[in-house]
Structure 1
Amino acid sequence: MDNELKMELKPIGLVNSPIREKPANGFNWREIVAEIVIRPELAEGLDGLADFSHIMVYWWMHQATDPAKMALKVYPRGRKELPPVGVFASRSPYRPNSIGRATVRLLERRDNILLVQGLDAIDGTPVLDIKPFIPGYDSPAEGASAPEWATRHQRQV
């Protein structure tokens, strides 16, 4: 691309999690309860969110920004016995843009704090956006499929 678009993202809040550093591959995030602390001046933007059981959280993987670790081909889940795939066919944290996303259970809202379950982001992670999960609208299309390695240990929140 000749004309690179310059973007500026500002965090809307931070993750407060008991997980302080990236755990080993295969770690089960399903039971982890964390807080998302939204900037106080944005708290009004959370009105109505507690009516949803699940939310989608988008964040910046702030500890996965080393360009030397970004590769276009990676081993799925770091498993060298599997054939490499393109980075966009993986969940590798080392990407051209280190954006993370998860659909998590919303347990509670207290003013500017969201209590969530299943967020696979470490303590101090900057949150970029939050959207409600709407069944049917945000669910996969009929006939969606994935390779066996990707579905063997599916997340369930």
Structure 2
Amino acid sequence: MNLIGFIRSPFSSLEGMPIQPTGAAGVRGKVEILPEYRAGLKDIEGFSHLILLYLFHRSEGFKLEVVPFLDSQPRGLFATRAPRRPNPIGLSIVRLDSVEDGVLHVQDIDILDGTPLLDIKPYVPVFDRRDGARTGWLELTGNAVTSQKSDSRFVAP
């Protein structure tokens, strides 16, 4: 994999961060694209939202059962969005405000400052939204995402 840039946000510590973009409504950040990849930003300003794929660069190790932020009982890792994973790849959907000299100005950012960026994809509702989607165990607790903050449970030992 090639890093294409870095994400800048107000979050310098893993603890106390929003756990998903919906919990970071209005939080501003920047996505700085390396010069050799900036030509790939052509036409991106026409999209209101972007999918960022990034490396959980402070994540070490993993367990196949975890207690996720929005629950108190162990769940299978792949039924969660926990950051400590076999391949520590994160995904966030952010709102694009503007593009300026290889920098994307975004909102709703829930990502640690300095996070390496792997890829950007436009969010397209007709491609990405699924009517009737089920949310498993999150149907009971998912609405708490706007107030839940991260704690030390996924910080590497």
Per the shorter chain, which TM-score range? 0.7 to 0.9
Cα shift readout 1:33-83 (whole Å, capped 9, x = no counterpart): 10000001211110100000001000000001x22xx1111112174xx32
Greater relative contact order, per chain length (Cα 8 Å cut-off, separation 6+):
2
Q: Contact 2:70/2:144 (CA < 8 Å) preserved in 1? A: no
2:85 to 95, 103, 106: 95
Q: More helix per residue: 1 or 2?
A: 2
Shift of 1:22: 1.1
| Number of equivalent positions | 141
Q: Matches of 1:117 and 1:104 in 2, distance apart?
A: 6
Give the partner amino acid of 1:85.
R
Q: For residues 21 and 42 of structure 1, what CA distance do their matches in structure 2 show?
A: 28
CA distance in 1, matches of 2:18, 2:67: 14
1:36 to 31, 43, 68: 31
Larger radius of gyration, structure 1 or 2? Answer: 1
Aligned-partner Cα distance in 2 for 1:25–1:112:
26
Residue of structure 2 equivalent to 1:46: 41
RMSD: 1.7
What is the aligned partner in structure 2 of residue 6 from structure 1? none
Partner of residue 153, structure 2: none
Any conservation in 2 of the 1:25–1:77 contact (CA below 8 Å)? no
Identify unmatched segments of 5+ residues in structure 2: 147-157
- Residue of 118, 143, 149 corresponding to 1:152: 143
Moved beyond 6 Å, runs of 4+: none
Q: Any idea what SS the aligned residue of 2:15 has?
A: coil
The C-alpha deviation readout for 1:94-139, integer Å capped at 9, x for no partner, is 0101100011100110020001111211111000000111111111
Give the structure-1-normalised TM-score. Answer: 0.82
- What residue number does 2:150 align with? none
Alignment of 1:1-157 (within 5 A): 9-24=1-16, 28-64=23-59, 66-67=60-61, 70-77=62-69, 79=71, 82-140=72-130, 142-146=131-135, 147=137, 148-154=139-145
Q: How far apart are the structure 2 equivalents of 1:60 and 1:16?
A: 13
Instruction: Indicate the percent of aligned positions where both proteins have the same amino acid.
Output: 35
